[in-house]
Chain A
């Protein structure tokens, strides 16, 4: 293990207490965990000032492994707990890790409203297109016609595009990455953490155990190849790279999809406090 990797692992993981982790061999969650701690380290934010919040599902277990202030809450509600933490103590940097079902099915309401309010939180959504922990049932991002344990005859629902949902709901920063493009992922998470406002990183990940098994992608390597071959990296501010073609348009865009400046909730609420105190003294 290179020296700097060993140092990051020692600094950020509860390595002596909580490993080995519960994830399947080859799961993308481990890659996200690695990317997250590298991004936190590069962001320069002090450990004591970070709260990592997660919900329920395979992704929810990430909080156990990281030596930060960590909170593992009810299914879908992580953003509401995070909202309370942030408003009660604005000095804290609150990062929320969710899965696709956690963030956009049971927690969909909280997700769009946190984005609408532009709450100063970072939402990292690991999108493996399935409910892994409960045995591979279909989620809001399961592709049409896929087989899952609750769509044995093929999935008939349309999918959410999590990034587009976040953009439309009013997030300040939206990026998409994959567990194959780890350098891009490190950058996206670091930028999201440093962004003032509601920042979202959607990470396409693999669940070969459940999704892959029923849909011709039995190994993590097959999933990695798929990610390599089916994405196009966008340039800054959501523009497609030069040489845009019909081919890239069909590909999934990864990179920073939205990055705008707008007032964050806590700053706006400080105005409310000032106004209230002025009205009291006058």
Chain B
């Protein structure tokens, strides 16, 4: 069942399975999770694949423990991941904040289902977008990526690991029930067609290592436990040596750097795809499974003579404002269809500054927004 190898392979995979293959290709060798629909296939395939590669899968007692184990494994030097859905994602928030604060690379997949609470376990939703950005308490940087196809699930998962390793930040992948369970034939990239980035390790002797010292990237080298550096890692505000501090200057420097490293990397982190946007007068801004409906709707609208285009967001946070602003400046109207009450449309409006007209279209009944619905909205414009 090795879907990933040195040769290009055309394989039939569902989104959840492709996330596993992407993670493994990126070097993930540790997974800890807890069963939840519609993310369970990720755990199941991980439990089969990781031990084949000398990796580790463990099913923990809850999602809190899953997230804790993932951070622990990463601190020991192993790329690690967990996957869940809404209720589990809520439970992970506290430890997700620890990963932000202690700058521990890791990847968290949230296969979104309807909420709040137990909600709609087997129906799609995009209701967790703002939770992915702001779910854990306090000011914190985080990267959130959205997937919409099975190939995305592979490629964006690789990307998620690379960003988490490069910026020492947890990366959240937002999938949804439709993407997770759609089966497609995909040609997975072979080794050498993508880069798997590894965190920078300290090269200096232990006595010179300052674990949280600033540098030009704002990302200090990361020592793994057991490499002789015996440093301190804490969720408390800490000084450059990693020890707790209450000094305002040290606190400001830390929080400032946590944000600066993401701001500095913004252009690399911001990922979007455009479709027929060159001469578009009306833009659909969409992400996740809805972006696939939107693509079809754009084609249908073009056949009717309406110059429509699609801006598909892959990076949701930091919000890809440069790409969105460009689309808003070019088009007289932007339509933002979402399976929530309007979480990304608010972000679009926030950056719009009245340049264009932003319309939202929302569905929260557990059903996918269809191409026809988006098309109907487009021709009304």
Contact = CB atoms under 8 A, between A and B. Distances in A.
Contact of B98 (A67, A74, A273): A74
Contact of B226 (A48, A64, A67, A279): A48
A113 B56 contact: no
A88 B78 contact: yes
Interface stretch (B58-66, B319-327, B333-341): B58-66
Interface string B68-85: 111111111110100000
Main secondary structure of the interface of B (DSSP, over half): mixed
B133 to A, nearest CB: 20
Given A89-B225, A272-B51, A73 B235 contact: yes
Count chain B CB atoms within 10 A of each CB in A53, A70, A77, A109 and give the residue with the most. A77
B52 interface: yes
Count chain B CB atoms within 10 A of each CB in A48, A49, A63, A81 and give the residue with the most. A81
B69 A81 contact: yes
A225 to B, nearest CB: 34
Nearest to A117: B58
A71 interface: yes
A91 interface: yes
Nearest to B58: A87
Given A88-B80, A109-B62, A74 B68 contact: yes
Contacts of B361: none
B135 to A, nearest CB: 15
Interface residues of B, number: 48
A83 B56 CA distance: 11
Contacts, number: 148
B10 interface: no
B236 interface: yes
Interface in A56-72: 63-64, 67-72
B100 to A, nearest CB: 12
B230 A67 contact: yes
A46 B345 CA distance: 56
A79 B68 CA distance: 8
B52 A63 contact: no
A92 B225 contact: yes
Contact of A83 (B69, B225, B226, B231): B69
Contact of B95 (A68, A77, A113): A77
A71 B73 contact: no
B233 interface: yes
Contacts of A84: 30, 32, 68-76, 80
B65 A85 contact: no
Interface string B228-264: 1111111110000101100000000000000000000
A87 B73 contact: yes
B268 interface: no
A276 interface: yes
Contacts of A63: 232, 234
Contact of A277 (B52, B61, B76, B77): B52
Given A70-B232, A72-B233, A17 B30 contact: no
Contacts of A71: 72, 75, 225, 232-234
B68 A73 contact: yes
Contacts of A51: 76, 225-226
Nearest to A68: B230
B6 interface: no
A80 B64 contact: yes
Interface string B194-222: 00000000000000000000000000000
B76 to A, nearest CB: 4
Contact of A64 (B32, B98, B243): B243
Contact of B230 (A64, A70, A110, A280): A70
A273 B51 contact: yes
A269 B226 contact: no
A81 B71 contact: yes
B68 A80 contact: yes
B48 interface: yes
Contacts of B235: 72-74
B225 A85 contact: yes
Contacts of A92: 76, 225-226
B329 to A, nearest CB: 44
A18 interface: yes
11 contacts: A48-B228, A67-B230, A68-B230, A72-B232, A74-B98, A81-B72, A83-B72, A88-B78, A109-B62, A113-B60, A280-B2
For the complex of A and B, 10 pairs with smallest distance between CB atoms: A84-B72, A80-B68, A84-B69, A276-B51, A88-B73, A80-B65, A88-B76, A81-B72, A84-B73, A72-B234
Given A47-B230, A87-B73, 11 more contacts: A48-B230, A69-B225, A69-B229, A73-B68, A74-B68, A74-B95, A88-B56, A88-B80, A89-B224, A92-B225, A277-B52
